[in-house]
Amino acid sequence: MAVMNITPDSFSDGGSLYHDQVDLDLVFAHAERCLSEGATILDVGGESTRPGAKPVSEAEELARVIPVIEGLAARFDAVISVDTSTPQVMIEAARAGARLMNDVRALQREGALAAALETGLPVCLMHMQGTPQTMQHRPDYDDPVMEVFQWLMHRIDVCLDAGFSADQLLIDPGFGFGKTLEHNIALFQHLDRFVQTGYPVLVGVSRKSMIGEITGRPVEQRATASAVAAAIAASHGAAILRVHDVSETRDAMAVMQALTQGMQ
Ligand code: 7PJ
């Protein structure tokens, strides 16, 4: 899953596809490159969720992502996912051609559960402690793995009760969303636990501060380390890797698979 941030302010690539407004030619060129490098999903997001990011209005989010989704759907044979928590964006994104909902708030926003259900699409439920504005102030858990796990299972139950089928749901521990490095590492070490539920697990660690803390590198130099982390996540059974650096991730995956399972 390749990250397509249609925002002026995302931490890793803010503004690269967006200058005052969406630059569709740049978006399509970026998508083409990601797909040629081996991505199969394009994750389109119009709201930055970096720590302390400014909230965007529904109108602004729609204006950012809907033309992009329509254009991508018309041009590419790829699964388009929409990284949103906003009910109206879910509905209109599905109409525009999105095939997966990716909600970092796990459908907790008012109306989001009903909107996602109405689309009939699969949904990725992600765990976050706090809000993007506050989440890194003082993340606090007694047992991060148990608490994140139980929270996700609770959200799964809420979705099943609302009428989703089990095969529509994916889960994501939400690396970096209200977690210290220690919490992120504990979750990573216990990914199997999430995988064993049978729900496909999405992992997003690409260029995040946990990678920066481990390597000491600034965000523009985290591609290699992010690819290694993604490959390790895959080796623990992650089904979808959300990444910025598709080519590096593909190489890391190829080496890991060849050296652990032999050339296929
Ligand atoms: C994630 C995401 C993630 C899922 C972002 C960033 C921040 N969606 N959206 N999982 N992260 N499912 O790219 O670092 O980890 S936005």
- How confident is the model over 151-199, as pLDDT tens digits? 999 999 999 999 999 999 999 999 999 999 999 999 999 999 999 999 9
Q: Is residue 182 part of a domain?
A: yes
Q: Name residues contacting ligand 1 (CB within 6 A).
A: 3, 49, 83, 102, 104, 124, 126, 172, 174-175, 202, 204, 208, 242
Q: Residue 9 pLDDT more than 90?
A: no
Q: Which of 102, 155, 240, 245 to mutate to test the pocket of ligand 1 (most atoms within 8 A of CB)?
A: 102
Q: Residue 264 and residue 258: Cα distance in Å, rounded?
A: 7
Q: Residue 239 and residue 77: Cα distance in Å, rounded?
A: 20
Q: Which atom of ligand 1 is nearest to the CA of 126?
A: 12
Q: Distance, CA 164 to ligand 1 centroid (Å)?
A: 23
Q: Is residue 219 part of a domain?
A: yes
- Number of structural domains in the chain: 1
Q: Is residue 165 part of a domain?
A: yes
Q: Is residue 264 part of a domain?
A: no
State the residue range of the domain holding 209.
Answer: 2-259
What are the respective helix, strand and coil percentages of the chain, to the nearest 5? 45, 15, 40
Q: Is residue 15 part of a domain?
A: yes
Mean pLDDT over all residues of the chain? 95
Average pLDDT over residues 40-52: 91
- Helices (H) then strands (E): counts for the chain: 10, 10
What is the phi-psi region of residue 242: left when phi exceeds 0, alpha when psi lies from -120 to 50, beta otherwise? beta
pTM for this predicted structure: 0.96
Radius of gyration over alpha carbons of the chain, in Å?
17
Residues tagged active-site: 208, 242
Q: Is residue 104 part of a domain?
A: yes
Tokens of 47: 């709201």
Tokens of 207: 């260029």
Could you tell me if 89 and 58 are in contact, meaning their C-beta atoms sit under 8 angstroms apart? yes
Could you tell me if 137 and 130 are in contact, meaning their C-beta atoms sit under 8 angstroms apart? yes
CATH of the domain at 6: 3.20.20.20
Q: Residue 14 pLDDT more than 70?
A: no
Q: Residue 126 and residue 237: Cα distance in Å, rounded?
A: 17
Q: Residue 10 pLDDT more than 80?
A: no
Could you tell me if 123 and 85 are in contact, meaning their C-beta atoms sit under 8 angstroms apart? no
| Nearest in space to 254 (alpha carbons), one of 210, 204, 246 | 246
